[in-house]
Amino acid sequence: MSRWWYLVAPALPLLLPQALWVKRTALRLPDASPPWQGLVPGQTPSTPPLRLLLLGESTVSGVGVDRQADALAGQLAAQLAAITGRPVQWQALGRNGADAQACLQDLLPQVLDQRWDLALLVLGVNDTTHLTSRRQWRTRLACLLAGLSSRSVQVGVTAVPPLGRFTALPQPLRGWFGLRSGLLDRDLRQVAARQHALYLPLDLSFESAYLARDGFHPSAAGYREWAAGIARQWAPPGAEPSPSSVEVGT
């Protein structure tokens, strides 16, 4: 049994009712509306587009905003187009509530017949709350990254969001999930290094202006800030996003 379980076991009589209360009362927002793919024009339209794939959980399905163009995939495509000058052909393949197992079984097979320049895996919240074992988490991550690497020139992974900063969760549940998300993030960093994937720390504010109405998912401003942080880490040295990076085309 892991150290986390030894720590959490004495608190289960309190944590379990809190978890059930959150599940019952949490505001459930829909996915962003289609289309879930698009083309952001670049400064050099004749250049072949950069092919971008995002695969993962509810933030990839755009929960928290009305349009995918305002969610992480569309915003990241706009940021990369502004930095590189190239058009960006993007696709979001996400599912609300997806964990690593669902991504491996259901989502990844949908894109194994395609090629990408950049593929970004966005996971961790549901594996944290579903209490996925760390051994299963590491194994499934390795399989996902291997699959994406076989179809993409470069693969990146975003850090597991720090659930300890999600104020929509009550204490002490928030603290325990925060501890567990930190452990999964440590595993993610290690697996990414072994698989030669780029680990991307989460550059995101958790103030109310950057959160959707549920207090759990990013707002349009939050997705824009998150995408800008990813783009800065993926950008060529010395490149800076232009003001046009906040505008997204589909």
In percent, how much of the chain has pLDDT > 90?
68
- Comparing C-alpha atoms, which of 159, 143, 153 is closest to residue 52? 153
Instruction: Tokens for 149, please give them.
Output: 């690497």
CA–CA gap between residue 24 and residue 18 (Å, rounded): 10
Beta bridge partners of 156: 120, 198
pLDDT recorded at residue 241:
41
Kindly tell me if the per-residue pLDDT of 237 is higher than 50. Answer: no
Strands 37-40 and 88-94: antiparallel
According to the 3-state scheme, what is the secondary structure of 85-118?
Answer: CCCEEEEEEECCCCCHHHHHHHHHHHHCCCCEEE
The encoded tokens of residue 83 equal: 């930095």
Q: What is the predicted pLDDT for the residue at 242?
A: 41
Q: From CA 212, how far away is CA 224, in angstroms rounded?
A: 13
pLDDT of residue 244: 35
Give the mean model confidence (pLDDT) for residues 188-217: 93
Domain boundaries, the chain: 3-246
> Which residue has tokens 């880490």?
233
- How far apart CA 240 and CA 118 sit, in angstroms, is 19
Q: What is the pLDDT of residue 35?
A: 95
Does position 50 have pLDDT exceeding 70, yes or no?
yes
Instruction: Give the amino acid at 218.
Output: P
CATH topology of domain 3-246: Rossmann fold (3.40.50)
> Could you report the per-residue pLDDT of 9-24, keeping only the tens digit for each?
555 555 555 555 556 6
Average pLDDT over residues 171-188: 91
List pLDDT tens digits, range 62-108: 999 999 999 999 999 999 999 999 999 999 999 999 999 999 999 99
Spacing of C-alpha 243 from chain mean position: 24
Query: Could you tell me the pLDDT band of residue 157, with boundaries at 50, 70 and 90?
Result: very high
